[in-house]
Chains A and B, each alone.
Chain A
Amino acid sequence: MKPNPNDGASGPGTIVGVNVALSGTLKDQNDIAVYGMVDGQVESERSVTVGQSAQVKGPVKGQLITVAGTVHGEITAHEKLEVLETGKIYGSIETKDLIVRSGALLSGKVTMGTDEPAAETPEPEFKEEKIAEAAEPADEPASETKAETTPELTPDEE
């Protein structure tokens, strides 16, 4: 396996050939390539290739996912998703990096980027200004405004 297939990511991957119909959860630490029909989840810790002749009914998860066939289900690509000219996706997509070739079909919600919470956290100086601006028109005591915002301050400021 050759290194043992069961001990990590160094073994062989899984290939579902063009004349294979498979049902169940197909999970592999290594690459998965699908050219036939899969009814169920497809999950790899590396790459997943959905070939032109492939039809997948179920969620697909992997680091790098390439779709040239048809997927009916949610796709989660932790690194990159590439949808080739012949690719058809009916389901939501979650990925950091998305490439869609001309001719491909996407039908579903696309979510990209995972750094949203960090980007929303404002700089402490900016926040203090906002607090001051907000406090003035309301004519409220400064201590009350501070108390409301305290949980959002960094430990240094506290």
Chain B
Amino acid sequence: MYYYVLESPSTRGVRQNYQRLRDILTHLGIAGEIVTSSPARTPAEQAYIGTTKGYSTIVAVGGDAHINEVAMATIGRAVLGIIPIDASRQVTELIGASDMKSAAEALKHRRISLQDTVLIDPDLPLFLNAAIQTSKLAKVSLVIDNKVRAHAYFNELVVTRSLEVKIRSTYVAEKRKILGLFSVGGEQIASESSFHGKQIKIITDPPMPLMVGENKMADSPLTLRLVPESLKVITKRGTVLE
């Protein structure tokens, strides 16, 4: 029933974690087929193979980028389980478990919640937060639901699976003197904006990559569409019991 897709281990510590995980899964009685992604077989390819074999639950074991890739191949085909290893807080908060053992226990209880996803035009799904980051301020234009146009400067732009776009910037106001006596400016000005919609177009100047962890998803300009409640995810406090 469970098909586990492990992230290619980067360190000996991760390999040891995988061995511990096998023991935990066996102990809980939810051991299934376990495969490891590699450059030859990406996480998405491995997950797709799992769905074609008829597994109803594909479990992503690893960090954010790995989980997102597995999710991409799981949407509409199977239920997604997650065992976070070096994953961000958004993942542990989503599933309600921060360690391997409690995540594995959540898998056993199979409480399922429906999660939104985002489709990056033309057909690239996005499950976890993706970001465009730049150390120098860059220009961005947003077109939200074809009704609102927003123009801003940013250092970081984050897209969530609910199609919320958060724009952050920090800049130092230039110092200038008034009447040659008083200095004004020089302070750091932080700005944070948040928009949401069903379709958002993002145009940056210059074009920049949208990343999930270390993985590049696409380059701007981007057209993003919200796909509500499109992915079934096993969480600790799900609302639907399968």
Contact = CB atoms under 8 A, between A and B. Distances in A.
A26 B153 contact: no
Contact of A15 (B147, B148, B192, B198): B192
9 contacts: A12-B162, A15-B193, A17-B169, A17-B192, A17-B193, A22-B148, A22-B149, A24-B148, A24-B149
B38 interface: no
A18 B194 CA distance: 12
Contacts of A12: 162, 164, 194, 196
Interface of A: 1-2, 4-7, 11-27, 35-36, 40
Interface residues of B, number: 26
B225 to A, nearest CB: 12
B134 interface: no
Main DSSP-derived SS at the A contact region:
loop
B194 to A, nearest CB: 4
Interface of B: 116, 144, 147-153, 162-164, 167, 169, 171, 189, 191-196, 198, 226, 228-229
B169 A24 contact: no
A1 B164 contact: yes
Nearest to A18: B191
Contacts of A24: 144, 147-149
Given A12-B196, A23-B148, A5 B191 contact: no
A5 B150 contact: no
Nearest to B196: A5
A1 B153 CA distance: 25
B63 to A, nearest CB: 22
B152 to A, nearest CB: 4
A16 B150 contact: yes
Given A4-B228, A11-B196, A15-B193, A20 B167 contact: yes
